[in-house]
Amino acid sequence: MIPWAKPDYYGYEKKYINQALKSSWLSDGKFVKDLENKVCKFVNSKFAISVTNCTSAIHLSYLALGLKRGDEIIIPGYGYLAAANIALQMELKPVFADVDQETFCVTSKSIEKKITKRTKLIIVFSTYGNICDLDAIIKIAKNKKICVLEDAAESFGSTYKNKKSGTLTDIGTYSFQATKTITTGEGGMVVTNKDKNFIAKLKSYRSHGVKDKRYYHYFPGHNFRLTNIQAAIGCAQLKKINEIIIKRKKIYNSYFNFFKNIEGLKLQMFTPKVKPVVWTFAIVLDPKAFIDRDKVMKIMKTKGIETRNGFYSPNLLPLYKKFQISNLINAETLSKNIICLPFYTSIKEREIEYISKTLLSLKR
């Protein structure tokens, strides 16, 4: 079976894990600080705080922003719904905005329509490595004095006007889960250039609301700390980030050459401002040209190829029914018709060819 994703290692993982083990620092430790410093340097951010995963990075950001029950958060209608799930847990109100059919990212127009007096945060997703039209979104947010969080879980290394994804708005969050561009198994990070007060809150909520005095709790915080062993893996991966990016770009180009100019399918569009490091190769299948997307996935599986469907738009999930979601037409179309193809740095050219030809053979 060709897996949809797979973590690859680049030579330093075992060495760094052994160093972490020998150091006897398993929880906090040198690699945790190293990873935070190196991520700051790589993305050019003032501050980075490592956490257990991207979901906790988002949760931590909501807490440090002081979001309260009933506050509204605008969330893209297409994407992995971690930001919305945490909103539900904190009794915040997710307000979903539709995305663009071509880029799969939320648009400034659909965000603008959803802003009310209660809007406290705008979330943007950098879906599959793409970055939305942030110039326009940031302008709207600044006018209304609303904070913007870029959930860059899927776009580590992507750039928008030569700035790294995650650093373009007030707060950025990354995922280092096993399928991501760099991994720590499970892991994540918050990056921000916000003020010291906000940074102190991030640090404190990460560790049970403790600040300067041990066992003295200022806030009802969490334990969202990344371990030293996980950070050791992250440091090893980050050391090879340039190689990883080159490989991912090459894989993207190989797929692109098979699928460009083919009728009956649509590829994700990237504007000239964006240089993506793609997480997966997503294709929108036209139901008139292809047999049903889910059947395509099943047949691909019988041929030894694991694929992924698109994210469910929230209007298709009973969990979100009570939020009276309307106008997620593009998100729903993407949900039903997207197929994501295997994408990891050790995938072979002949495997890409086999995957591409197998998919194309399923045209009606």
Ligand X SMILES: Cc1ncc(COP(=O)(O)O)c(C=O)c1O
Residue numbers at the binding site for ligand X (CB under 6 A) = 53-55, 79-80, 82, 125, 151, 153-154, 175, 177, 188
How far apart are alpha carbons 25 and 31 in whole angstroms? 9
Q: Which is nearer to ligand X, 87 or 254 (CB)?
A: 87
DSSP string covering 183-198, please? --BS-EEEEE---HHH
Q: Which is nearer to ligand X, 123 or 283 (CB)?
A: 123
Q: Which is nearer to ligand X, 175 or 230 (CB)?
A: 175
Q: Which is nearer to ligand X, 8 or 353 (CB)?
A: 8
DSSP element (H, E) containing 151 = strand 147-151
Q: Which is nearer to ligand X, 177 or 307 (CB)?
A: 177
Residues 6+ apart with CB under 8 A from 54: 82, 151, 153, 173, 174, 175, 176, 177, 188
- Give the nearest distance from C-beta 178 to ligand X in angstroms: 9
- Give the nearest distance from C-beta 55 to ligand X in angstroms: 3
- Give the nearest distance from C-beta 179 to ligand X in angstroms: 7
> Checking DSSP bridges between strand 188-192 and strand 47-51, what pairing results, if any?
antiparallel
Residues 6+ apart with CB under 8 A from 7: 178, 179, 183, 185, 344
Task: State residue 282 phi and psi, 5-degree precision.
Answer: -100, 135
- Give the nearest distance from C-beta 2 to ligand X in angstroms: 20
- Give the nearest distance from C-beta 354 to ligand X in angstroms: 26
Q: Which is nearer to ligand X, 103 or 177 (CB)?
A: 177
Burial 284-299 (b: 16+ CB within 10 A, else e): bbeeeebeebeebbee
- Give the nearest distance from C-beta 79 to ligand X in angstroms: 5
